[in-house]
With several copies, the nearest count.
Chain A
């Protein structure tokens, strides 16, 4: 009882901090969304509140938050700022995914750094890769004990606050075929020097404050120790952690949709105009609010069910990956519908005001575009239902 409740107490404190920070982030979003830039102040606040350390293993004194807890946290942060929540999700997905990979030379070092406030990110979209992370255009050339990395990585979300990057690359020695030539490396940003630079600063149409720059890796040298997994195992590792990415991404967009709903309710309560004494008494508004409630309840139920019951990969890894697509696909599409409806309840004045709902409208569209995209998800889920391997070729007729 004693140890458990201590751990739960720490978790409750993290959640309380997140809940307190959300309105702070929202105020900052209202001020800074349009100019973009990175929500560095927000990340600093999260680090200070211990939020970024939630996935440190219990063995190292951490909370070792469950996947369901990560989801809950990200929803809470997203209510304040989609950019911040999305940047945080990259960090939580990486740290949670790596926390049980004990044995590697980097493991304890990285986890202790996270406990001490490190912020770890990973840009997994390579130039020309079409969001197929298994086929990076970035290369890793063996060079003595280490590797030399070259490539262009997009969407380096959170880079401005990052202490560490996880970088994927194809090992260019011709020994393993794609996707097994995929490898992953830890890069300490402070030590990267000239081999790592911002090629094009982020100027996003959505999630404007994520600082998701395009990064140039230009002869960046890393030690052999920086290789996270033995040759050939990186793809399997990533697949067996797909639940973290899919559920945590979904959580961000569900959090945005929940906030959109709240904004619709808050804006409507007590609102009047020259024609209607109490806008909340309009049936169209009531029905729209109710439909949003129903949709949010379904989304929450689905994501919670997956984050608690669909967590262990089991024997059929590709089947598991397909299964993890379900809540990501459903929630990101439904989130868009809820935000759209909330915008209509709030009405045209929201366009005028540089309002929060207009920001959420922009952010929410990123949901279905993040991997797995809706099309990838439908292919995996559909093939899995028929017992057809999603990596079998030819893919169709």
Chain B
């Protein structure tokens, strides 16, 4: 039984280290294997394994505070390990001891999970996977494609969705947690993007990959319900990463302007009103984003209506990530042209924060569902809108 760790303190320590490596991984688009090793070796990666299975049993608040700080050092690393950390917490919540074998691997062998619920042609509608799971003796054969499979290069376990048509042909979504197999899955396109470049979010081609019955998480068809019930682990941890970027941008801007001098000024740039006002806006937006995030973290997550819970958490993510993006844009404005130079972390923050606008849940679907719910309009009724 591991002793109770202060994951926030650990994150603070690691963030400093990762910050020094962030630029190189960002420029080269390489996966930060050495960071992942540090996360495993320090026990950070066992944070959300249930305590009774030898893990840290971290709360959602501990997780988010730690991830927020880690993201300030290297957002890509934080986002890559986030799939693992929040995934474990969700698995513990929805599948419990069913995944005991995986918890053991994480604690004893340093296994790391990567997760894939995005697919080309699905457009953020993760509850409609296109990957097909065909029953075979002892399990399933999976065929399909996955995109944005964050953390893939460092993963030894894969957490992924698929669909199995039932006897009436109705697609039943389901999820698997499987040891990364030797065959049946290949990288079809390496991750090469403008932001979050060191997350190894590759595209995968899944061609007959085997998943055993014992690797099925929850039951057939109840993936959406399970995911919605546990979605606070996902969307809160996502948001914490982008708030972390925003706060790092604020801290950086403040530290630089306090010391910055221009030939034409008799005091530091911090004395310019335009700089003060922009920083005030940054401070205020960061405070608002953090408040919304942690209100969601501390909310009652036992909502008997999983869809309502999903909508509340989704609205939180959209607001928080939008504020975070505004903050990094303001940071660039305050710093000026030099903020765009490779040597400034602000330009990386600016690119990484853009991903916050784009990772699930999608803005339009969130708004559609939240609006319909408020107006008592059945969310899945067709036609979707007035004809």
Contacts and interface: CB of A to CB of B under 8 A. Distances in A.
A386 B292 contact: no
B367 to A, nearest CB: 4
B333 interface: no
B386 A277 contact: yes
B91 to A, nearest CB: 28
B122 interface: no
A294 B318 contact: yes
B219 interface: no
A284 interface: yes
Contact of A305 (B277, B294, B374): B294
Interface string B182-196: 000000000000000
A295 interface: yes
A265 B279 contact: no
A293 B315 contact: yes
Contact of A395 (B258, B376, B386): B386
Contacts of B281: 378
A294 B311 CA distance: 10
Interface in B293-329: 294-296, 312, 315-316, 318-320, 323
A286 B386 contact: no
Given A396-B272, A396-B273, A397-B271, A381 B374 contact: no
Given A304-B295, A395-B386, A396-B385, A286 B280 contact: no
Interface string B316-353: 10111001000000000000000000000000000000
Contacts of A295: 319
Contact of A288 (B272, B294, B371, B383): B371
A299 B291 CA distance: 9
Interface string A283-304: 1111111110111011111101
A284 B277 contact: yes
B323 A298 contact: yes
A379 interface: yes
Given A385-B279, A396-B384, A287 B318 contact: no
Contacts of B376: 269, 280
B386 A289 contact: no
Contacts of A396: 271-273, 383-387
Interface size class of A (residues with CB under 8 A): 35 or more
Contacts of B291: 298, 301-302, 304-306
Nearest to A382: B276
A382 B368 CA distance: 18
B358 interface: no
A295 B385 CA distance: 24
- Prevailing SS type, chain A contact patch: helix
A290 B271 contact: no
Contacts, number: 172
B307 to A, nearest CB: 14
B283 A326 contact: yes
Interface string B350-387: 00000000000000101111111011110000011111
A385 B377 contact: no
Given A286-B372, A290-B371, A326 B287 contact: yes
Interface string A359-396: 00000000000000000011111110111100001111
Given A287-B274, A379-B276, A385 B266 contact: no
A291 B271 CA distance: 21
B12 interface: no
Considering residues B258, B315, B368, which has the most beta carbons from chain A within 10 angstroms of its beta carbon?
Answer: B315
Contacts of B279: 381-382, 385-386
Contacts of A278: 377, 386
Nearest to B323: A298
Contacts of A277: 386
Contact of B277 (A287, A327, A330, A397): A287
Contacts of A279: 386
B265 interface: yes
A305 B371 contact: no
Considering residues A276, A306, A383, A393, which has the most beta carbons from chain B within 10 angstroms of its beta carbon?
Answer: A383
Contact of A297 (B283, B319, B385): B319
Contact of B375 (A268, A302, A326, A327): A268
10 contacts: A281-B386, A283-B274, A283-B277, A283-B385, A285-B371, A288-B371, A382-B275, A386-B276, A387-B258, A388-B276
Interface of B: 250, 254, 257-258, 265-267, 270-281, 283-285, 287-292, 294-296, 312, 315-316, 318-320, 323, 364, 366-372, 374-377, 383-387
